């Protein structure tokens, strides 16, 4: 039986906010508190990746991403999968079954990474660039637009006035699945503030693929 025809309890895939959450849940981290040293090869970090490796080896989970992974999700071939809160409307539009949402705070330590991205306004730009950029930034983050964005995606709104709006409060009452992203905030932590994290992230992705797909030892984290 080919993997895509099977049913699995869990779907795993390599995404920085997911594996970073996994490390924290096992009591580890990617970097030291001062962000000057990589520590993801400590005992807890290796245990975290070994846990995923065993899930796939035991065929409890499948390690797959992209369109194939999403196709398995929407077809009901996956019992559970960690996905962005922005996937909520995707499920409402594509799933052929009823589904629930739970906080992504598994493991010994309740922890979930704040995913997403950032918007920057550079202070070395020209005055006109800064004023125009500020207008765009203000437009993107005003109460009305953030409310519209959250209602139509499932993403968490990032402004208190938007969260307290009648529209957001109503959808959380009508469909409690929209509330979960806020409920788990108490266990959240920020993404790394390490300059070359993008390059380090690529290395960890490659290592995770080799451990799970090629059966290499978790000691390659060293």
| Mean pLDDT across the chain | 92
Which band of pLDDT confidence, cut at 50, 70 and 90, is reported for residue 4? low
At 205 the pLDDT is 94
At 123 the pLDDT is 87
- Of 37, 11, 80, residue with least CA distance to 200: 37
Domains, the chain: 1-116+191-222 (3.40.190.10), 117-187 (no CATH)
In whole angstroms, what is the distance from residue 80 CA to residue 53 CA?
17
At 105 the pLDDT is 84
Average pLDDT (143-156) is 94
Q: Tell me: the pLDDT tens digits for 31-84?
A: 999 999 999 999 999 999 999 999 999 999 999 999 999 999 999 999 999 999
- Of 25, 53, 9, residue with least CA distance to 215: 53
Q: Under DSSP, is residue 187 helix (H, G, I), strand (E, B) or coil?
A: helix
At 117 the pLDDT is 73
Res 1 pLDDT > 60? no
- Of 106, 105, 102, 122, residue with least CA distance to 114: 105
Which band of pLDDT confidence, cut at 50, 70 and 90, is reported for residue 175? very high
In whole angstroms, what is the distance from residue 115 CA to residue 17 CA?
6
Q: Between vectors from CA 219 to CA 62 and to CA 66, what angle results, nearest 5°?
A: 25
């Amino acid at each position: 039986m080919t993997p895509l025809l099977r049913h699995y309890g869990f779907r795993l895939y390599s995404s920085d906010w997911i594996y970073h959450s996994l490390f924290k849940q096992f009591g580890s981290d990617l970097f030291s508190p001062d962000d000057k040293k990589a520590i993801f090869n400590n005992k807890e970090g290796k245990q975290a990746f070994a846990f995923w490796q065993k899930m796939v080896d035991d065929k409890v989970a499948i390690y797959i991403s992209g369109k194939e992974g999403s196709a398995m999700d929407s077809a009901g071939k996956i019992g559970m999968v960690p996905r962005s809160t922005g996937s909520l409307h995707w499920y409402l539009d594509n799933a052929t079954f009823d589904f629930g949402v739970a906080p992504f705070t598994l493991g010994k330590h309740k922890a979930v990474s704040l995913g997403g991205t950032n918007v920057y306004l550079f202070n070395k730009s020209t005055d006109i660039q800064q004023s125009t950029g500020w207008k765009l930034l203000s437009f993107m983050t005003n109460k009305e637009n953030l409310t519209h964005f959250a209602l139509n995606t499932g993403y968490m709104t990032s402004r208190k006035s938007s969260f307290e709006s009648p529209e957001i409060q109503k959808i959380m009452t009508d469909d409690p699945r929209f509330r979960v992203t806020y409920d788990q905030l108490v266990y959240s932590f920020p993404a790394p503030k390490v300059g070359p994290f993008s390059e380090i992230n690529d290395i960890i992705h490659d290592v995770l693929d080799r451990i799970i797909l090629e059966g290499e030892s978790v000691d390659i984290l060293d």
